[in-house]
Amino acid sequence: MNAVPKFVVTRRGSVTPWENTRVTDGADLAAEVARLRTEAAGDVAIFGSSGLTVSLLEHGLVDALRILLHPVLLGRGHSLYAGLRDRVDLAAGAVTVFRSGNVLLRYRPSGRP
């Protein structure tokens, strides 16, 4: 985990980052992502932040979405992309079904290669 480059976007002040971690408040998110794309040896992934994902979608900075669906119905909860101002049409990609019942859905925002 420490060897993998990490980039933390937070508005909550200080964080205790792992080794090989950069921290930003996301004030110039488009520039930060552009820099990451030039520096990264592979894909850039987001884990656990729907708010950050919404911001990146609104800036046209998301190439692909991978959504892991768990087979549980809760009856209430939060929208995965709450706060998204405009509609984002998606093109479906591959689907993987796991023995656990989890389903990995892959999408690309329409118009992205």
pLDDT digits (tens, 9 = 90+) for 7-27: 888 877 777 667 888 888 888
Mean pLDDT (the chain, rounded): 86
Query: Mean of the pLDDT values across residues 74-88?
Result: 88
pTM confidence score: 0.79
Q: What is the pLDDT of residues 27-39, one digit of tens each?
A: 888 888 888 888 8
Q: How many CB atoms are located within 10 Å of the residue 30 CB? A: 12
- Strands 21-24 and 90-97, by their bridges, are unpaired
Query: CA-CA distance, 101 to 95, in Å (whole number)?
Result: 12
Rounded Cα distance between 25 and 104, Å, is 30
Residue found under tokens 């009856």: 75
| pLDDT tens per residue across span 28-68 | 888 888 888 888 777 888 887 888 899 899 988 899 999 99
